[in-house]
Amino acid sequence: MTFRSYLLAAAVAAFTFAFSGGAQAHPHVWITVKSDVLFSPDGKVTALRYVWTFDDMYSAFATQGLDKDNDGKFSRAELAELAEVNVTSLEEFNYFTVAKIGPDTLGFGKPKDYWLEMNKDILSLHFTLPLAQPAAQKDFSVAIFDSSFFVDLSFPEGAKVELVGAPATCTAEAIRPQGADAAASKLTESFFDNLSASAQFGSQFASRIVLRCK
């Protein structure tokens, strides 16, 4: 009977395993990221300037009902309220951005110069994300990802990071997550095998900027 109890529990456990995957989902929104790094006159990093371009399906969804004058176009004014909501709500998600100097994570100020733009049914969110304090260039890096993976943020192939006002000695590299070129999606088996909720799981599917100054 004890053996049977074990078997019974094993049957239940095996069964519940079938749906106990936890809080996972696949992305419903894809964002192509363009990110520039802004510098202060004294050569410190002050802000990230983003253009996030959404996929066509989400673009249609997000702009649903916003063409107030029904002219078939979305003016910047018609999209202003949504842009405001976007940057405000993004704070909760830390703008899907982790900026670091070495191992230390940097804080952000409120986004500036933000607007939405609809171009051929494709929506783009422009915003500048200032660092709370200007940061030294040395060992500056940025990782861009949604930890819950509802939103897929990636650099396009061959992406370049523009450095605005940077010392001439600086270069920046845009690094796409490994495997991003191979598949339509960044989800690979090894990605999930290595994924753990504890440390640095985001590093496995983040798009990164690495700054190097001589």
Partner 1 sequence: MKARRIVRARGVLALILLGCAALFFVAPDVLAQSSPFGAGTPAPTSSGGIMGWILTEQARFFRSLSAAIREAKADGTAVWGLFWLSFLYGIFHAAGPGHGKAVISAYLLADGSTIPRGIALSALSAIAQAITAIVLVGIAALILGATARAMGEAVRVLELGAYAIIVLFGVMLAWRKGKALIQALSRETAPAGHTHDHSHHHHGHDHVHDEHCGHSHGPEPQELAGKDWLKRGLGAVAAVGLRPCSGAILVLVFTLSQGIFWAGVAATFAMAAGTAITVAAIAILAVGAKGIASRLASGGNGAGAIAVRGLEFTAALGIIAIGVLLFSGLLASERMFPA
- Does the footprint of partner 1 cover residue 132 (CB under 8 A)? no
Is 40 or 203 the residue whose CB approaches partner 1 more closely? 203
Rounded to a whole number of angstroms, the minimum distance from the CB of residue 113 to partner 1 is 19
Rounded to a whole number of angstroms, the minimum distance from the CB of residue 191 to partner 1 is 7
Rounded to a whole number of angstroms, the minimum distance from the CB of residue 207 to partner 1 is 16
Options 51, 66, 101, 106; binder of partner 1; rule CB under 8 A: 66
- Does the footprint of partner 1 cover residue 65 (CB under 8 A)? yes
- Residue 112 CB partners (closer than 8 Å, separation 6+): 47, 127, 128, 130
Options 77, 85, 132, 136; binder of partner 1; rule CB under 8 A: 85
Tokens of 148: 């819950």
Pairwise CA distance, residues 32 & 119, whole Å: 14
- Residue 123 CB partners (closer than 8 Å, separation 6+): 53, 54, 58, 59, 62, 63, 79, 116, 117
Rounded to a whole number of angstroms, the minimum distance from the CB of residue 47 to partner 1 is 20
Site residue total, partner 1 (CB under 8 A): 72
Options 30, 117, 126, 159; binder of partner 1; rule CB under 8 A: 30
- x/- mask, partner 1, residues 142-181, rule CB under 8 A, reads -----xxxxxx-----------------------------
Q: Is the dihedral of CA 153, 154, 155, 157 positive or negative?
A: negative
Q: How far is CA 178 from the centre of its chain?
A: 15
For 7, phi then psi, to 5°, come to -60, -45
Rounded to a whole number of angstroms, the minimum distance from the CB of residue 183 to partner 1 is 7
Pairwise CA distance, residues 62 & 57, whole Å: 9
Options 24, 119, 169, 171; binder of partner 1; rule CB under 8 A: 24
- Residue 12 CB partners (closer than 8 Å, separation 6+): none
- Considering only residues 106 to 125 of the shown chain, the ones binding partner 1 according to CB under 8 A are 121
